[in-house]
Amino acid sequence: MAKNIHARDHHFGWDNSFPPKVVVDAGETLLVETTDSSAGQITSNSTLENLINLDFGKVNPVTGPIYVNGAQPGDALSVTFLEFHGRGWGWTGNIPGFGLLADQFTEPALHLWKFDSTNPKSSTHSSGAKIGLKPFVGTIGTALAEPGLHSVVPPRQVGGNLDIRDMAVGTNVLIPVEVEGALLGIGDTHAAQGDGEVCGTAIESPFDVSVKIELIKSAHLPSPQFTTPGSVSGHFDQSGYVVTTGVGPDLMIGAREAVSRMIDLLVKRYKLAPVDAYILCSVAGDLRISEIVDMPNWVVSFYFPRLAFE
């Protein structure tokens, strides 16, 4: 029988002095229970007031630490995501001061989502947009060698808050180890997210994740790398995309322009409130670098699935 670690066994930030909550051998399967990125501050019955009063000292909890026998600095953990078991709800928020277009969207907003917990395939926004779901782990990482408490918010060379939507069923990720036992943490699970997570949140949703943990000795990886089991876009692209672009010498400005232009398009075409369009871009649209060689100008594109409104 596989071991499990309860969601109450979580911590905020990375610190190699945190004692392990569970010990596993390489090759074992572990069921990791998680809470959502608000650590339960937002629930399926929350109101905007809960988002406004969010305690940012208690966000992005990771379940762990998980001590892996035999793991030493220079090794890599090999983690394969086997199953996701959800609760059937999630939330997306526009948090003032956070997100790619924080200067344009200064007022808080909260949207609650519902979906089939046993077969999470789609969820419908209040605007009528149908969003394809793909449960995944937003944060997975190991403790840093540097002592002290380190914020979990920025991603690091040992993983952490990567927010890569392809950390889903069947994906295998390799994570560098800097301390004995690795001290793995997993959390920040999402029901769906577009590449870029442009408003700062995805469909934040608690899932219990079954993982197989293996060990690669003397891997000496400079940063995480992963392998997916197949196509990473087939569940979204059946009807194609509508795409906006940003063109110029600065990739960040290009990204902002591409997203802003998609928001304008969605507002005009589907009569959406701008903040709703921003939220939909975050959970369903993909921000991509299309060209970075034709100097002095680069092209950033934003892809939004037509299927959402068809």
Residue 123 and residue 197 share a domain = yes
Residue 15 lies in a domain: yes
Strand partners, 168: none
287 and 203 in a common domain: no
Instruction: Confirm if 187 and 35 have CB atoms less than 8 A apart.
Output: yes
User: Is there a domain that residue 92 lies in?
Assistant: yes
What is residue 163's DSSP assignment?
-
| 3-class secondary structure, 198 | coil
pLDDT of residue 1: 61
One domain, residues 206 and 266: no
d(C-alpha 249, C-alpha 240), whole Å: 28
Q: Name the more confident of 69 and 2.
A: 69
Residue 284 is part of a domain; what is its CATH number?
A: 3.10.28.20
The residue out of 227, 255, 273 marking a domain boundary is 227
For residues 12 and 113, state if they share a domain: yes
Cα–chain-centroid distance for residue 110? 18
> If 0-12 CB within 10 Å is exposed, 13-18 middle and 19+ buried, where does residue 278 land?
buried
25 and 121 share a domain? yes
Q: What pLDDT score was predicted for residue 234? A: 72
Do residue 78 and residue 15 come from a single domain? yes
> Please, what sign has the CA dihedral across residues 3, 168, 66, 9?
negative
| Cα 259 from Cα 113, distance rounded (Å) | 22
Cis preceding linkage at 73, omega within 30 = no
Residues 77, 212: one domain? Answer: yes
Instruction: Return the structure tokens found at 92.
Output: 């997306």
What's the chain's average pLDDT?
Answer: 96
**Which residues, 6+ apart, have CB-to-CB distance to 160 below 8 Å?**
14, 139, 140, 141, 152, 154
Distance in angstroms (rounded) separating the CA atoms of residues 65 and 9 = 8
Does any domain span residue 150?
yes
Neighbours of 71 (CB within 10 A): 26
Q: Does residue 235 fall inside a structural domain?
A: no
Residue 170 lies in a domain: yes
Whether 233 maps to a domain, the answer reads no
- Name the one residue in this structure whose structure tokens are 């892996």: 68
Quote helix, strand, coil % in the chain, to nearest 5: 15, 35, 50
Does one domain contain both 35 and 120? yes
- Residue 169 above 90 pLDDT? yes
30 and 147 in a single domain? The answer is: yes
* Average pLDDT of span 235-243: 85
Tokens 């906006």 map to which residue?
244
| Backbone angles phi and psi of 13, in degrees to 5 | 90, 170
Question: Over the stretch 259-305, which tens digit does the pLDDT of each residue have?
Answer: 999 999 999 999 999 999 999 999 999 999 999 999 999 999 999 99
Tell me the residue range of the domain where 278 lies: 241-309
82 and 116 fall within a common domain: yes
Per-residue pLDDT tens digits for 59-112: 999 999 999 999 999 999 999 999 999 999 999 999 999 999 999 999 999 999
Domain count, the chain: 2
In a domain, 177, yes or no: yes
